[in-house]
Structure 1
């Protein structure tokens, strides 16, 4: 049995506890205490019940009981003052006050890759996981369905969304598991790739969430096909590329790609991503670098970079009519908050939320990741 409460998941079959998707090590008695409270969520569990279950009825000191309660609170991200998850009921016992439920089944261990084609007959790879309302993910263009699926930091996001939605992911032509060929980067063409994947998956009207450079693909899709997009989430977006913002500093991105892109597990790939994710975690950033190397040739990656440097979405914004949520990092050093404000001001009725991080996009292990996922899920479900 698995219990979900706050940002935690307790699995009584594998005897594991995770918080924000990361394992939490606890002593057996602490685990038993959390389990007892989760199985009796909302009910006050008496001191005698706690002693009977956790200590098997043995005589135990008050200090030992207090130590286990403190450890349980720490494990679930709570404390004695806040008591948002485990509440002390004076002279009676403990009560789990955070809503507890049984999660829906997780995504399968493997994914099914399918193919459709663009107007030129070039293969477009796509996959659908989970069940529920249709949701299209428009990644940062240089995607690789298989590599991302096997990357823990990416998979946590996919699994979480797939518990509530039918999640469609795709690789554009030229990238990932789609037909590998040199392309002339055009965001309207990339939007048509996304639409072909949606058609093949049987999605008629669907929500979309987009990340970084993929935002411009999603904006083109929403502007050119307003009847297909029910709502749009923009994460790490920007109205104007770097070349459109005035004087541009020397582009170390081109230098790093030119020097080290063709070397497997090149430190150059990770180095260029550190500017996007200065808060880490390090292992996730390194994995994203490896994925990008698998996903794209040097020529196509430099083509994408040039396109996003030169892009301006200002003229498209008035044509976007679906509910839109813009999520941006306050201290994003790559695409400043001012560019997200331009998106919000240009799309009628758009809302913006600012997260307190320097990471371009929140990823698991980043302190704001749980808040980010909650914002995204609430918007897409509403």
Structure 2
């Protein structure tokens, strides 16, 4: 088997068995290759079109052309590294080598010689995907800017390790640490290293000047800093325990399993600790959730102490969109399929919104698999159940509006969500919500989901739940009233109920109720 290496530091290049392969002249094709290589996860074709091509053109045709140019660059007779079907495209990260990924793994190693650290610092001084900027494609350009910032942070790590290396000559160490402090001007670790090195070198005037400059800079920025006294070199600081959304996004491994009707379901796992599976609910995307003001803070905090497994509903996110069956039974079957794919024998189960009913049904069918059950914003019966003719007409009108307004800047459609899902959201959060809708599913599937939710009915299953259950509901939820949550808790044997001080059916990560939710879930799951 041939080896394929992709260089993304500097101008993008592809090497096969050490020999450079000529790349297409198209900047967008080279940018697409770099994006697929660095993300190393599947992407919906619609998302790639949004990233790289303007709507008035033929984005799907342009994407097909670019993929056709990339395929011979990375594939060979024995390995198909580019996977592309009608719905998704991905470069298989485990079948090729990418320079940034390799360097990140090296920097996690316990020991590296000075020569290798020097080489890594030099490599990271190159611009990520130099020459691949697409100023007219804002989504791609935002991603590229963030990727370059991550590379700078990686270079800072390399500089820190190199400057602290015992085999590095003192003058060179001082130069390296000075570069580190310039790259990260608000790093207290870099400041301590530089002041200490200057003091050790007998350059007291420079050390005093640096100490005063750092103190003024940190004070202005509101950063607490106590200069380290002179003496031994300050050891490298422990890694920052706060993991960013982009880091979690990069760490998760997206996989696929196949339901009984051959629908492919995308699922992912991130974090370590006791496992918790989040049943899918409407509006999710395994990749884009990490940028979401409603999901990202919740997922990050749960992943601190747990292995969090989640998946995209069929017809939604990275799972297959072109499906024949969107129904409650299919939702339950998909959860069963994901559970078997993970190989987990026992786990906590989290159900949000309609995912609560799915979780209830699963817990009744498989009580031996569920250690604890957490339900948020749930309902046991859909909108068609016991509804009046007027209520049905109202819901059908919403479905008609959804068909025309999905993902669009439609004030009438937006009002539906502003008054029910996230009443306290800002204009920027609603703008994000519009884009998120378009990226998560199609208008046709959105209508099918709304219809399927109307048929949910697990009322007779509540009394059959035999696992410890915590029911959480926003007290001011205007989509699913809090009394519905209390009724669920009253109907499940020994269930607990917690009301949150929020008006949202979906919690915004910035509101205090989100922290209360995570705290309650953590306390419940860790309780004996």
Shift of the 344–178 alpha-carbon distance from structure 1 to 2, 3 Å rule, reads same
Instruction: Kindly provide the CA deviation profile for residues 99-135 of structure 1, in whole angstroms up to 9, marking residues without a partner as x.
Output: xxx8475653413211110112221111101111111
**1:356 equivalent among 495, 501, 521:** 501
**1:244 equivalent among 385, 393, 409:** 385
| Counterpart for residue 417 of structure 2 | 273
Instruction: Kindly provide the CA deviation profile for residues 271-318 of structure 1, in whole angstroms up to 9, marking residues without a partner as x.
Output: 432121101244334423432322222232222212222322211112
| Counterpart for residue 484 of structure 2 | 339
Is the CA contact (8 Å cut-off) linking 2:280 and 2:313 kept in structure 1?
no
SS in 1 for 2:507: coil
Shift of the 331–206 alpha-carbon distance from structure 1 to 2, 3 Å rule, reads same
2:351 counterpart of 1:210: yes
Is the CA contact (8 Å cut-off) linking 2:356 and 2:378 kept in structure 1?
yes
- Alpha-carbon distance in structure 2 between the residues aligned to 1:14 and 1:166: 33
Shift of the 35–211 alpha-carbon distance from structure 1 to 2, 3 Å rule, reads farther
Moved more, 322-331 or 109-118: 109-118
| Counterpart for residue 229 of structure 1 | 370
Is the CA contact (8 Å cut-off) linking 2:328 and 2:456 kept in structure 1?
no
| Counterpart for residue 39 of structure 2 | none
Instruction: Kindly provide the CA deviation profile for residues 202-223 of structure 1, in whole angstroms up to 9, marking residues without a partner as x.
Output: 2111111111122121112111
Residues 41-52 of structure 1 correspond to what in structure 2 (within 5 A)? none
**2:268 equivalent among 103, 117, 127:** 127
Bigger RCO (CA 8 Å, 6+ sep)? 1
| Counterpart for residue 172 of structure 2 | none
2:503 counterpart of 1:365: no
- Alpha-carbon distance in structure 2 between the residues aligned to 1:139 and 1:157: 15
2:450 counterpart of 1:260: no
Number of aligned residues = 301
| Counterpart for residue 193 of structure 1 | 334
- Larger-Rg structure: 2
Moved more, 115-124 or 27-36: 27-36
**2:218 equivalent among 10, 21, 28:** 28
| Counterpart for residue 310 of structure 1 | 455
Pairwise CA distance, 1:175: 1.7
2:341 counterpart of 1:151: no
Instruction: Kindly provide the CA deviation profile for residues 346-380 of structure 1, in whole angstroms up to 9, marking residues without a partner as x.
Output: 11010000112211132212232211221122222
Instruction: Kindly provide the CA deviation profile for residues 11-46 of structure 1, in whole angstroms up to 9, marking residues without a partner as x.
Output: 85699xxxxxxxxxxx8338777566xxxxxxxxxx
Moved more, 355-364 or 141-150: 141-150
More strand by share: 1
| Counterpart for residue 314 of structure 2 | 173
- Alpha-carbon distance in structure 2 between the residues aligned to 1:212 and 1:13: 44
Is the CA contact (8 Å cut-off) linking 2:475 and 2:499 kept in structure 1?
yes
- Alpha-carbon distance in structure 1 between the residues aligned to 2:265 and 2:187: 38
2:282 counterpart of 1:137: no
SS in 2 for 1:116: strand
Is the CA contact (8 Å cut-off) linking 1:138 and 1:211 kept in structure 2?
yes
Instruction: Kindly provide the CA deviation profile for residues 305-348 of structure 1, in whole angstroms up to 9, marking residues without a partner as x.
Output: 12222322211112211111111111111111121122111110
Give structure 2 stretches of 5+ with no counterpart: 1-185, 192-216, 230-239
Is the CA contact (8 Å cut-off) linking 2:328 and 2:455 kept in structure 1?
no
Is the CA contact (8 Å cut-off) linking 1:281 and 1:366 kept in structure 2?
no
Shift of the 298–227 alpha-carbon distance from structure 1 to 2, 3 Å rule, reads same
Instruction: Kindly provide the CA deviation profile for residues 27-86 of structure 1, in whole angstroms up to 9, marking residues without a partner as x.
Output: 8338777566xxxxxxxxxxxxxxxx69x9xxxxxxxxxxxxxxxxxxxxxxxxxxxxxx
- Alpha-carbon distance in structure 1 between the residues aligned to 2:460 and 2:431: 36
| Counterpart for residue 377 of structure 1 | 522
TM-score, scaled relative to structure 2: 0.52
- Alpha-carbon distance in structure 2 between the residues aligned to 1:241 and 1:339: 12
More helix by share: 2
- Alpha-carbon distance in structure 1 between the residues aligned to 2:188 and 2:454: 50
